[in-house]
Amino acid sequence: MIPILLVDDNPTNLKVFSANLSGLNYQLLTATTGERALVVAENALPELILLDINMPGISGFQVCTQLKANPKTAHIPIIFLSALDDTQSKVKGFEVGGVDYVTKPFQREEVIARVQTQLKISTLTKNLEAQNKILETINQEITDSIMYASRIQKALMPNHDVLQSYFPQSFVFFQPRNIVSGDFYQVFEKRNKVFVLVADCTGHGVPGAFMSLLGMNLISQIIEERNITETSAILEELDANIQKLVNQPLENGEIPQDGMDIAIIALDKQKNQIQYASTGRPIYLVRNALLTDLRGDKYAIGGEKIDKKFFTHYTINDIQPKDRLYLFSDGITDQFGGEENKKITSKRFQQWLTHTHTLPMLAQKEAIITLFNEWKGENEQTDDVIVIGIEIN
């Protein structure tokens, strides 16, 4: 039975209320004072309270205020039953926490309808709260798992110390949109070449992170285990593997278009030259305040299936000390913000780099982060962000 508390200082009214609600599967509890009502409510925790206003001792308004202040009873819906029919009393009843107000003398059918309505609302509210708690638990478990995945992902990417061991003047600005990232970067040394690469995978969050883990593993195999060190050949092997492992027809016949854009450079120590290849991502070279946009091939790794993709291998033979090279994902140029809520754009990012190119690399990183955050303002981050800057020794 559903417990309901009836509160009225007039025993006759309590009998009338009880008679009207009898036979409806309710367990009727009673109290003739506000003080007694507080005790019964806290001990019995009824599903609903029908509360008179004018009573000796504390009034119904005071009872309602104290019940709502008590965490144990705050959730109990309260219907005021009163002979007070003025607007001020009704408004105050709702202000102190009542959910309904019925004036005396009342009609049995009206009271029953209002009681049943509030009980239904109460049940729905409890069910919703229970579902929310379940969702909160599930969400926390998912978040904890993603946080753990983020630690794994970051562990697979080199920290800045590795990059600095090859390029003392360098920086990494890495800021995922979500906890895990669809962008990644890597640093390798093989056959007297130092490789630095930045990749922007399809999507962000968990789907992008899975693709990034696959990409990191494949690139490691290609360079470190299979000894492929020509930048264009690395991309060709990576594309072939992505097409084979990921972009296979689904059950509905659809072919996924998952893949990545990537830029890779290789500093050849013996020849003192930079070799590079890229797909969909530019590489910026800044020399004496002049920025050169080094662009590679347009088609991406994976993505649209083409019988054979040939990637172009480029070489910079006149590399000079103090030359600066920047590899980055499109998360920084695609960020919305500014006074007109537009993208940063490649042009504006180039201006940032040339205006800050005289700063030490770590100071330049902080300047870029400040410009990025000021541009973003209150907007959400649009995409994962990676910017790597290196200065030739």
What is the CATH number for 37? 3.40.50.2300
Half-sphere exposure of 138 (CA within 13 A, CB side): 6
**Which residue, 128, 145, 168, sits at the end of a domain?**
128
Q: Is residue 148 in a domain?
A: no
- How confident is the prediction for the chain on average, in pLDDT? 91
If asked whether residues 182 and 328 sit together in one domain, one would say yes
d(CA 364, CA 367): 5
d(CA 219, CA 282): 19
If asked whether residues 175 and 288 sit together in one domain, one would say yes
If asked whether residues 270 and 124 sit together in one domain, one would say no
Q: Is residue 258 in a domain?
A: yes
**Is pLDDT at 86 greater than 80 in this prediction?**
yes
Pick from 63, 28, 31, 34: which is nearest to 48 by CA? Answer: 28
Q: Of how many residues is the chain composed?
A: 393
H helix and E strand count, the chain: 10, 18
Which pTM does this prediction carry?
Answer: 0.74
Range of the structural domain that residue 198 is part of: 158-391
Task: Say what the pLDDT of residue 256 is.
Answer: 62
Q: How far is CA 339 from the centre of its chain?
A: 25
**Which residue, 128, 149, 175, sits at the end of a domain?**
128
d(CA 331, CA 386): 7
Q: Which residues contact 256 (CB under 8 A, 6 or more apart)?
A: 246, 247, 248, 250
Query: Mean pLDDT across the stretch 361-373?
Result: 97
If asked whether residues 105 and 246 sit together in one domain, one would say no
If asked whether residues 240 and 326 sit together in one domain, one would say yes
If asked whether residues 289 and 167 sit together in one domain, one would say yes
Q: Is residue 135 in a domain?
A: no
If asked whether residues 253 and 372 sit together in one domain, one would say yes
Q: Is residue 339 in a domain?
A: yes
If asked whether residues 346 and 276 sit together in one domain, one would say yes
Q: Is residue 232 in a domain?
A: yes
Beta carbons of 390 and 170 less than 8 angstroms apart: yes
Detail the DSSP E strand segments found in the chain: 2-7, 26-31, 48-51, 78-82, 100-103, 170-175, 183-190, 193-201, 259-268, 273-279, 283-287, 290-294, 301-302, 314-316, 324-328, 336-337, 342-343, 385-391
Q: Which amino acid is at 217?
A: N
If asked whether residues 74 and 194 sit together in one domain, one would say no
Q: Is residue 111 in a domain?
A: yes
Q: Is residue 149 in a domain?
A: no
If asked whether residues 216 and 318 sit together in one domain, one would say yes
Task: Say what the pLDDT of residue 232 is.
Answer: 95
CATH of the domain at 280: 3.60.40.10
If asked whether residues 104 and 36 sit together in one domain, one would say yes
Q: How many domains does the chain have?
A: 2
Query: What is the percent of the chain with per-residue pLDDT over 90, rounded to a whole number?
Result: 65
d(CA 195, CA 173): 18
pLDDT digits (tens, 9 = 90+) for 92-131: 999 999 999 998 887 888 888 989 999 999 889 889 999 9
For 235-255, the DSSP string reads HHHHHHHHHHHT----TTS--
d(CA 337, CA 331): 13
Q: Is residue 142 in a domain?
A: no
If asked whether residues 378 and 303 sit together in one domain, one would say yes
pLDDT digits (tens, 9 = 90+) for 210-230: 889 999 999 999 999 999 999
